[in-house]
Amino acid sequence: MDNSEIMLSWQQFLGELTTGWNSLQSAVLGLILEPWGQLQIVLLIAAYGISRFLAAQIEPRLDHWIRSLDTTRQWLKLLVIVLRRLQLEIFVVLSWVLLIVMRATTWPSRSYFIGVVASIATVWLAVNVISRLVKNKLVARALTIVAMGWAAIQILGLMPTVMTILDSAAISSGDFRISLLTLVRGLILLLVLLPLAIAVSNFVEKRLSAFDDITPSMRVLASKTVRIGLIVIAVVVALQSTGLNLTTLTVFSGAIGLGLGFGLQKIVSNLISGVILLLDKSVKPGDVIEVGDTWGQINKLGSRFVSVVTRDGREYLIPNEDLITNQVINWSFSNPRVRLEIQFGVSYEADPLTVRKIAIEAAGKPKRVLGVPSPVCHLVEYGESSVNYVLRFWIGDPSDGVVNIRSEVLIALWYALKEAGISIPYAHRDINVVAPVKVELAESKAPARRAARPAKG
């Protein structure tokens, strides 16, 4: 279609828009003056009053019933959204009932205004509910504008003309043709399918979390696979709805490969590393790991990073590639039990067997220290000023901290040794003087000056 035909379509659209607006004004004027119009207004006012009365009676009871439900937070949110719009919902139902009854008993023209009000109320209810469910405010506003615009065009009877204009604005190249109409259809379908795909993937993820037989890593991998697969299906369906042949997308494969080679290699590397971490199960949510100077518990395995929460409440986002290429200490990889050790020294006067017994008993006093394997104490060396020992014990909850349990054992060992009269020596040095030291006292020069001074008088 050339430019002249497009201009003709636009002129036709503007003409029909003017005609539709004039018809709407005439219909409103006739609605006020004609008996059937006045009857429609009275019926709609009655429907509004009935809906208001029923909502006031039903809403408190439904509110009490919803509060007593034991269900998920998402379902409660949906039920509350529906409950808060109960009056509008009842009005929509009554409006459509009136329209059906009127059209079954008299001419359709005598129920035109009821049909318009019912359509507007239905669109407004749908937009109101969907906008509350959509977290992104920009998307919610866009959906509101599109829905209300569609309703206005439909009410004015301009939908065929608008479809013709959108279809006329097209780009053609051989057998390939894409118009503004196909793009709008594909965009609307994508906006519908993407939230649906995300909702289904969230549902699958929650269902998988209920199976204790599946490891956390496999749950994360399965949920990520389902999410990516559903999103890809949604995009492919939306593209196919526009009439676009997917084989033509191979033209962009070279550009995508070039982009991966120059600027996206880190992103792709982290994505692949994330898949590897999920498959080999080297780390999983709940594990306590140490990467460089970062020590904490894994909170979440993402597609690009691993979230590690430290004991001080900080959350580190470590790229997946770092966990693949660098050394990682997993304190709970195959077994949550971790052995800790404390080195200490006592005086040479203490009996080694007694010291070992006291140290083992002191290590077993904190509740977090495991009884099996039991704590052990070994004499490791004879130091310069003390006999040095190493005390080893096991804990089964490294996620609760390591330094704090060491502190508890050290305090228990301190009081146990002090109660037994065993001292913990500190370093001291003995200085031996080999040659005699000559001490000289400097003679004061002040008396000599006084003696040399002549006497007065």
pLDDT at residue 246 in the model: 57
Condensed to tens digits (0 to 9), the pLDDT of residues 159-173 reads 666 677 666 666 666
**Residues sharing a CB contact under 8 Å with residue 333, sequence separation 6 or more, in sequence order:** 282, 283, 287
Please state at what angle helix 86-105 crosses helix 35-67, rounded to 10 degrees. 140
pLDDT at residue 72 in the model: 72
pLDDT at residue 357 in the model: 93
pLDDT at residue 38 in the model: 80
Task: Quote the distance between the C-alpha of residue 105 and its chain's center.
Answer: 55
pLDDT at residue 254 in the model: 59
**How do beta strands 294-301 and 288-291 pair?**
antiparallel
Q: Which two tokens stand for residue 376?
A: 């052990």
In Å, the largest CA–CA distance within the chain is 153
Q: Which two tokens stand for residue 278?
A: 């999920």
Q: Are 342 and 390 in contact (CB under 8 A)?
A: yes
C-alpha closest to that of 337 among 395, 288, 408, 411? 395
pLDDT at residue 393 in the model: 93
pLDDT at residue 20 in the model: 60
Coil, helix or strand at residue 372: coil
Strands (E), 204-322: 288-291, 294-301, 305-310, 315-319
**Residues sharing a CB contact under 8 Å with residue 48, sequence separation 6 or more, in sequence order:** 91
pLDDT at residue 184 in the model: 78
Q: What single DSSP character describes residue 109?
A: G
Q: What single DSSP character describes residue 444?
A: P
pLDDT at residue 114 in the model: 86
Tens-binned pLDDT, residue by residue, of the chain (457 aa): 444 444 445 565 566 556 666 666 666 666 666 787 788 888 989 999 999 999 888 888 888 887 787 777 777 778 888 888 889 899 999 999 999 998 888 887 778 788 888 888 888 888 888 777 776 677 677 777 777 777 777 766 666 666 776 666 666 666 666 777 777 777 878 877 887 887 788 788 777 777 766 666 677 777 777 877 888 888 888 777 766 665 555 555 555 566 555 556 677 777 777 777 776 677 888 788 888 878 888 888 877 788 888 877 788 888 888 888 788 888 777 777 888 999 999 999 899 999 999 999 999 999 999 988 899 999 999 988 889 999 999 998 887 888 889 999 999 999 999 999 998 887 666 777 777 777 777 665 555 555 445 544 4
For the four alpha carbons of 29, 32, 36 and 41, in that order, the dihedral sign comes to: positive
Q: Which domains does the chain have, with CATH numbers?
A: 3-175 (no CATH), 267-330 (2.30.30.60), 338-419 (3.30.70.100)
Strand ranges of the sheet holding 338-346, from the earlier edge strand across to the other edge: 338-346, 387-395, 376-382
Q: 307 has which bridge partners?
A: 300, 317
Say what the pTM is: 0.45
Helices of type H across 242-363: 253-262, 265-280, 320-325, 352-363
Q: Which two tokens stand for residue 36?
A: 């059937």
- Dist CA 181 CA 391 (whole Å): 77
pLDDT at residue 94 in the model: 93
